[in-house]
Amino acid sequence: MSKMPKGLVAASSRMVILAILSRGSNYGYQILQTIKHLTEGGWVWKDGMLYPVLHKMEKEKLIKSHWEEPANGPSRKYYEITELGLRQLKVEKEEWRFTERVIHNLCGMEICLS
């Protein structure tokens, strides 16, 4: 499968963003490109999906932002993960691992592929 269903993309968006930001601060376009690269083009997010999630996560104090003005080019708003965000990422990874185990166990019972 090259494209992930929209529901699964939406359900995993926070964890994906937190995981990307756990590697270092990023600005919106760079986050979009990282997602596209890591999913081999399977997830193509638009600005309209990313920025509302980023704003909500910032209100929840999972991430914080600051503006930077490069020597040439426009100002960019950079996002970085907070300590609370790192703790939340750990929780969300554990939830996904549990979900993966459940699905694996079900598929092992020939339910998924029959």
**HSE on the CB side for 78, CA within 13 Å?**
12
d(CA 85, CA 65): 13
Per-residue b or e along 2-12, where b marks 16 or more CB atoms closer than 10 Å to that residue's CB: eeeeeeebeee
Task: Give pLDDT tens digits for 66-101.
Answer: 999 988 889 999 999 999 999 999 999 999 899 888
What CATH number should be reported for the domain whose range is 6-108?
1.10.10.10
Instruction: Name which of 12-16, 92-96, 100-104 the model is least confident about.
Output: 100-104
Over 70: is that where the pLDDT of 3 sits? Answer: no
User: pTM above 0.75?
Assistant: yes
Structural tokens at position 14: 């926070």
Over 50: is that where the pLDDT of 1 sits? Answer: no
Are 35 and 45 within 8 A, CB to CB?
yes
Are 51 and 32 within 8 A, CB to CB?
no
In the prediction, which pLDDT does 54 show? 96
